[in-house]
Amino acid sequence: MPTQTTIAAPARVAGIGVHSAAPVDVRLLPAAPGTGIVFVRTDLAGDAAIPARAGFVSATANATVLRNAAGAEVSTVEHLLAAAFGLAIDNLRVEIDGPEMPILDGSAAPFAAALEAAGRVAQDGERPVLRIVRRVEVSQGDKTAALEPFDDGFEIDVTIRYQDAAIGVQRRALRVTPESFAREIAPARTFGLYRDLDALHARGLARGASLDNTVAVDGDRVVNPDGLRWPDEFVRHKILDVVGDLALLGAPIRGRFVGDQCGHGLNARLTAAVLATPDCYEMSAR
């Protein structure tokens, strides 16, 4: 059975929150076997540790938010979680001095680069895999998300559908490995629609969004002067979000995710459905 992993040395990232616009500093630290990924709010007194597990999801509107029983909260965790899960890092202490993870360039690539630079080390302790043995699906109208059996590792198949011609209908399927994640998914940036900006601001969201960290779409055009990193960068970023949200299951996955117009809310409902249906999965050696 493969062993668990953590990083070999501390790493640091800093930036602003995409929703709060607040500056934030993050330290990524090695953690002991069996720890999983834990966020720690260093600006708060008392119980400030927030495990990155599905049971701690408190909100999913425009980002994934985690909250512990004492009320300590951290938002926009999905890009870091995607980087750690995609690179097969199991145990990590994430010290953060504010309520929202930094958006950086809008992708998981800066987090992945920081983790890679820190190095990865094997630890004592087996690394069981969550193997999907029966399909589980959740839906909301015509939007769906499912996990189903798949014998060849972990695959994600996502379709998105937008009326904006710059996005349209896009579909991509990818078997997720550390190599494919770093190359094909991690650099895909978050995106937003100009028509939604005023409404987001009215709700206190997207205050830190800019062309430096978000792909902006206005009908049939991409506003960013440098354009897209791939023609299908939009669906690639949705895959990135899926990786980060499914990391909250707390173990590597052997199975296939299929999503049609899925988002953080539906992804969270799916992880909850999996954990509430013990006969749909088993913990296996590989």
130-152: burial string, b at 16+ Cβ within 10 Å, e else:
bbbeeebebeeeeebbbbbebee
Q: Can you tell me the distance from the alpha carbon of 281 to that of 131, in angstroms, rounded to the nearest whole number?
A: 5
Which of 19, 79, 237, 264 is labelled catalytic? Answer: 264
Would residue 201 show up in a list of annotated catalytic residues for this protein? no
> What is the C-alpha R_g of the chain?
18
Percent of the chain that is helix, strand, coil (3-state, to 5): 25, 35, 40
For tokens 């399927």, name the residue.
173
**Helices (H), ranges, 31-146:** 78-86, 109-118
What is the arrangement of strands in the sheet containing 215-218, beginning at the earlier edge strand?
Answer: 191-193, 215-218, 221-222
- The string of DSSP letters for 174-229 reads EE--HHHIIIIITTPPPEEEGGGHHHHHHTT--TT--TTT-EEEETTEE-STT--S
Give the integer Cα–Cα distance in Å for 276 and 254.
18
Indicate which residues carry an active-site annotation.
264
